[in-house]
């Protein structure tokens, strides 16, 4: 994991087309602005995990079976 220090109104570039900007820092919260192509889906981690689990359930296989399939596909 890359860890960077940024202040309000400073940004991070990911590749040529993604910019993450620190919009506001308030206590333990940080507001981020993300500029990316419309084709890219951006989710909060907890929402992404919920969507992923629901997709697995819709396949009617166990999460463990899905993880095995996913791991196999990633190694090819």
* Domain ranges, residue 74: 43-76
pLDDT of residue 55: 83
Residues 35 and 49 in one domain: no
Residues 22 and 50 in one domain: no
Residues 29 and 47 in one domain: no
Strand boundaries in 27-71, DSSP class E:
29-35
Residues 73 and 53 in one domain: yes
pLDDT of residue 63: 79
- As a whole number, mean pLDDT of residues 65-73 equals 86
Structural domain count of the chain: 2
Q: In whole numbers, what is the pLDDT of the chain averaged over residues?
A: 91
Residues 34 and 1 in one domain: yes
Residues 31 and 4 in one domain: yes
- pTM greater than 0.75: no
- As a whole number, mean pLDDT of residues 37-65 equals 88
Residues 23 and 36 in one domain: yes
pLDDT of residue 76: 61
């Amino acid at each position: 994991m890359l860890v960077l220090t940024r202040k309000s109104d400073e940004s991070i570039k990911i590749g040529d087309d993604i910019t993450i900007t620190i919009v506001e820092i308030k206590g333990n919260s940080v507001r981020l602005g993300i500029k990316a192509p419309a084709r890219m889906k951006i989710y909060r981690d907890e929402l992404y995990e919920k969507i992923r689990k629901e997709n697995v359930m819709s396949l009617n296989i166990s999460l463990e079976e899905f993880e095995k399939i996913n791991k196999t596909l990633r190694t090819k």
